[in-house]
Structure 1
Amino acid sequence: MHELLLAGFVTYDDASRIYRIGPTISEIAGYTSAVNSIGLTSRPILRSLASEFPVTSSLIERTYGDQYLMVVEAERAQSGPAIYVSPGNRVPILAGAAGQCVAAYSSFEPAQLRREFDRVRWEVPISFEDWQSQLDIVRERGYSIDKNFFRGATVVAVPVFSFERMTRMVAATFISSNVGRELEQRIIEALHNAARAIEAAMGENGEAMPSHREARRG
């Protein structure tokens, strides 16, 4: 019980000799409630993507003190083969397309960027220098596309902003050989629209006002 007190999971009232729920539990409960809220809000938007395209659509957010990315919500393609992405799954903060968005829109120090990159297990190896050189392109286009984290799969991620800070990404994961360039561009456009719709929904729920940030697309 002493360890729980130190961690803030419980508090102790000397007068009544009663243990009560501590601030850490309250913080976890608040975080869980927020995750559930944005998950429910994004679900119809993600479902629309998964019904229109042969993709698994997902909402991903930064978590655990910016050490990891976590899938908040996911919808699998409604027809044909698809890559399954499970809500609750987490990966290192710079993994895949979503991680590249984090790197492009955050202020990591060079040493930290390299350290976090080295935590990622790339199924198709890529050098840090080649990966880093793509960050300006991500900012220019307003999305990231990755074919290195999962072999045979492509992941496209578009940032979602809250109070002008990128807190989440909406992503589409698909089998690379099943999607040509023209369809890929349509998916990217749909992801941009989905990101703006999620921002608007977040504003309506009081979490944040939509940023109305229009990145260049290419």
Structure 2
Amino acid sequence: MATNTHSEERAELATGVIVKPVVNAIRILRFLTASGSPERAADIARELALNPSTCFNTLRTLVAEEMLDFDPLSKTYSTGLGLAKLVEHLVTQGQRLEVVRPLMQEFAAAHHVTVTLWRRMGNERIVLVSSETSPGDLRIDMAIGQRLPMLMGASGRLFAAHLELDEARLRAAFDKIRWPRPLRFEEYRQQVADARIKGWAVDDGYFSPGILAVAAPVADRSGAIAYAVSAVTFRGQHGSDEIDKLGAALRKVAGKIGNILF
């Protein structure tokens, strides 16, 4: 019972709200993973001090979602292929990000920029998952795990273009962002339109004063933008023609990254 109390306390401290069915499902998955052997519903309910009916319904749901397997002969439950695939996917993504790093390092060195890779999180945020700097140059360091509004920065123009938001929704999202450098909505909307045509986007000091960023989309197999790769440098170091070449080169790298990640 002490273990049950600690689990619930951790959930309450983390979120302020305990969603009991979710907690029960996670506890069952943990128990079966630690057990390593098939277990009957009655035994699971007893070990975890769960109501037998609640436990049975949770088990049926996990089987339906392929997180667990059910053996009708022995009437036992064990971890399923769906759970294994979920874990494998997470591990594989981390390994694939490591494979992407040399591409980012090569690009950073060749173009004297910092290269960052941002992952989309839902419909509101992006998170920095990888960053590589150019050796020997003045560096722009960015902290892994940093989160930003999804429509901010050069990558934000890409997501805005892909989502094809109508003007009212785009304006509402735009107004929520705090821009370090003043930016009119009409300018932003035009930059989104340019990104849709070119396949890459630019943020010239609006994300951070003195910083210029160029971004290209990394699409998953369905064509949705899952990541954005950015080249970050100081403003004034590249002319418009150089920025165009940088954007085109970054778009090619984004394609290679997509082939690795997906």
Structure 2 length-normalised TM: 0.66
Identity %: 24
Correspondence 1:185 to 2:244: yes
Deviations 1:160-215 (CA, angstroms, capped at 9, x unpaired): 1112222211110100123333433332232022012112223xxxx3xxxxxxxx
Q: Is the 8 A contact 1:5 1:11 kept in 2?
A: no
Q: Is the 8 A contact 1:66 1:93 kept in 2?
A: yes
Number of the residue aligned with 1:58: 116
Instruction: Return the letter of the residue paired with 2:212.
Output: T
Look up the SS of the partner of 2:116 in the other structure.
strand
Structure 1 length-normalised TM: 0.79
Which contiguous aligned blocks of 4+ residues in structure 1 show a shift greater than 6 angstroms? Answer: none
Q: Is the 8 A contact 2:201 2:247 kept in 1?
A: no
Q: Please say which of residues 117-126 and 87-96 is displaced more in the overlay.
A: 117-126
Number of the residue aligned with 2:27: 11
Deviations 1:133-173 (CA, angstroms, capped at 9, x unpaired): 22221111111001111111101001111122222111101
Measured on the aligned residues, the alpha-carbon RMSD in Å equals: 2.7
| Distance in 2 of aligned mates of 1:131 and 1:106 | 15
1:93 aligns with one of 137, 147, 150: 150
Instruction: Return the letter of the residue paired with 2:252.
Output: N
Look up the SS of the partner of 2:119 in the other structure.
strand
Number of the residue aligned with 1:131: 188
Look up the SS of the partner of 2:91 in the other structure.
helix
| Distance in 2 of aligned mates of 1:199 and 1:31 | 15
Look up the SS of the partner of 1:171 in the other structure.
strand
Aligned residues: 199
Correspondence 1:160 to 2:189: no
- Structure (1 or 2) with the greater helix fraction: 2
Number of the residue aligned with 1:144: 201
| Distance in 2 of aligned mates of 1:28 and 1:152 | 42
| Distance in 2 of aligned mates of 1:110 and 1:18 | 55
Q: Quick one: higher RCO (CA 8 Å, sep 6+), 1 or 2?
A: 1
Any gaps of 5 or more consecutive residues in structure 2? 1-6, 9-17, 29-40, 49-54, 56-61, 68-82
Identify if the C-alpha distance between structure 1 residues 110 and 183 changes in structure 2 by more than 3 Å, giving closer, same or farther: closer
Look up the SS of the partner of 2:197 in the other structure.
helix
Number of the residue aligned with 2:38: none
Look up the SS of the partner of 2:115 in the other structure.
strand
